[in-house]
Structures are given as C-alpha cells and as structure tokens.
Amino acid sequence: AADDDVAVRPDPVTTTDGVEIEVAANVGTRSDLGPAVERGADGIGLFRTEFLFLDRDSPPNEDEQFDAYVEAVEAFDSGRVVVRTLDIGGDKPVPYLDLPDEENPFLGERGIRRSLGPDATLFETQIRALLRAAASADGARISVMLPLVSTVDELKRARERFEAVADDLAEEGIDHAMPEFGIMVETPAAAFMADQFAPHVDFFSIGTNDLAQYVMAAERGNERVADLGDYRQPAVLRAIDATVSAADGTDCWVGMCGEMAGDPNLTELLVGLGLDELSMSAVTVPQVKAAVSETDTDDATTLASQALQAETKAEVTELLRETQ
C-alpha cells in the first residue's frame, strides 16, 4: 500500500516555518493502541470509550475502566491521551443498555444527553475511573472530552458531575486528579456558540463526521447524500473556521478528530484554518506528518481564506487540487 512508502516519524512535526502541529491517533478498539504507537502518533486525540462497553452483557466496572485508561496513557512515553466519555445512541448502540426506539436516533438521546439523563450512574462510574487514572503515574497526560454537546448548560452540568465525584473521592481518601477538560464540537450549536464555550474548557476537538452531517442535514454513512455531507462543503469549512476563530486569543486549543483530519490532501487547509492538533486513524499518521512538514503556514492561511470564500464544494476541491 502507498502509505507504507511514507516514513514513520516518531517525534512531533513542525511546518516549514516551525509551527508544531500535534498529530495523534484515534483509538476505537483495544487493538488500535499498538498501531498508533508504531505509526508514530504523538498521542491519542480520541479514545472512543464505547468499545469498553461492547461485546459483553454488562458495563465495565470502575476498575476495568481505570485499567484501560492507564494502559492507554502508558502506551506512549509522552503525549496526550484524550478520553471521550461514553458516546452511545445514534449509530452507536449497546444492547444491554436498552436504548429507546427513536424515529431519528441521530437527533435523539445520544452522547452527553444520555450521560446527563438515563445513563447518569454509568457516567458517575466512568468519571470515578477517569479521575483516578488522572492521578496515576502518567495520568497528568490524560484529558477528558464530552461528546455531542450542544449547550453551555450541558457542559456546566457535566463539569459539576466531575466536581461532585472529586469531592466523593476526596472524602473516601482515594487518589484522584482533575484532568484537562474539553468538548467535542460536532453540533452546529457548539460551533455557533464556541466563544461562549471557550472560557469554560481547555480545548475543543472538532468532530467532522457528526459536524458535517448536522451542518448539511445529510446523514453520515448514507450513500445517497454522501456528496452533500462531505467535509469539503464550504459550509462545513465555515463551521470549523467559526470554532477556531472563537478560540483564537484564548487559552483554548483546538483539535480535530473526525475523518477529515486524516485526509493528507486537507492538511495544508486545516493548518491554514488554525488547527493545533489533528487526530486520525493510525494508518494515515505518517502521511499527515509528512504533509505538515511540507506546509508553510502563510501559504496555508492564504489557501484557507480562499476556501472560505468558495461558493461550492467543487470550487474547494479544485483549490485543493491546484495546491497539491
């Protein structure tokens, strides 16, 4: 395969003018961890905790989760591991959780909505495991993010849960620490309100799989609307730009962990849009690292402003082709 021709770079990479872009891997099963390290990822930008809940008939307990989070961070000598709290519902069912029958599951009770609702007890167990893991030897490198947030209120309520659990652990005399805390930006609401979210979080991670589906009202994975739901649509680029711009000048860093981040043809554009971190399936890490190291940020900024002025996806695609 062509990707085997690209050298693995185990160290962080910079653009030609010295801007470091973190290139991380997405982990969606236990077996993704090895390849992430072998392919030279700087860390994990999306640890999908759903897999811990699959292929079994009851949820993993606190200790099992603690072990999984510690194992993930210990797999890397350095670098961040961003653990996403349970994101089920929509396209992510878990049989024993008895999800409701909804006409539009993608617009229903999924992600953080379940954690703040019917899955509150599961959420509490997960938070306990995360706060304990954050206090382990390498735990300071663990970050936590919430999926499918659409209101600042959801973020605040989730944060309160973390603080309440920290109080419980303190009372019980159990070692714990508060990890770096962020949200996924994968609803148009979160992108529009990014300036209101930014002061409350350490980072954003843009989930373009869901963001594209919701911005374009085109179901992810549905072939019939695949062209509409494509991340090259100018409306999707504008949602990304709105998010990055809202965080600009604050302490909030911005990453991306949807499929778009792993497309090496888009790396220059994403650097130009101002992303600090890109996280993808391990297989494309070497190509994206190579692409970052060939990018000049001034050229990238020019490309991004041109793409943001495009009228159509075809125009964006043409711009990308010209700059390859």
Binding residues: 48, 84, 186, 209-210, 220
Does residue 207 touch ligand PEP according to CB under 6 A? yes
Spatial distance between the Cα atoms of 95 and 103, rounded to a whole number of angstroms: 18
Kindly provide the residue ranges of all beta strands, DSSP E only, lying in 101-213, ordered along the sequence.
142-146, 180-185, 203-206
For ligand PEP, which residue of 23, 33, 46, 310 counts as binding (CB under 6 A)?
Answer: 46
Select the span of 51-59, 133-141, 207-215, 292-300 touching ligand PEP (CB under 6 A).
Answer: 207-215
Specify the residue, 208 or 284, whose C-beta has the smaller distance to ligand PEP: 208
- Short-list 200, 248, 246, 280, CA closest to 22: 280
Contact 212, 231 (CB under 8 A): yes
Q: From residue 175 to residue 204, what is the string marking binding to ligand PEP with x (rule CB under 6 A)? A: -----------x------------------
Q: What is the token pair recorded at 84?
A: 């996403």
Let me know: does 183 contact 196? Beta carbons within 8 Å.
Answer: no
Closest distance between ligand PEP and the C-beta of residue 231, in Å?
9
d(CA 255, CA 270): 10
Question: Cα–Cα distance between 159 and 162 in angstroms, integer?
Answer: 5
89 binds, among ligand PEP, Mg ion, none (CB under 5 to 8 A by kind): none
Q: Which of 80/84 has CB closer to Mg ion?
A: 84
Comparing CB distances to ligand PEP, the nearer of 136 and 267 is 267
Residue 126 CB coordination number (10 Å): 26
Catalytic annotation on 252?
no
Closest CB 200 distance from ligand PEP, rounded Å = 21
CB of 207 to ligand PEP, least distance (A): 3
By CB under 6 A, is residue 119 in contact with ligand PEP? no
According to the binding rule CB under 5 A, does residue 210 interact with Mg ion?
yes
Where does the chain show beta strands of DSSP type E?
13-14, 20-27, 44-48, 81-84, 142-146, 180-185, 203-206, 253-256, 277-281
Among 209, 293, 301, 317, contact with ligand PEP (rule: CB under 6 A): 209
Cβ proximity of 220 and 240 under 8 Å: no
Catalytic: which of 257, 270, 278, 304? 257
List, by residue number, the catalytic residues.
257
Summarize as ranges the residues that interact with Mg ion (CB under 5 A). Answer: 186, 207, 210
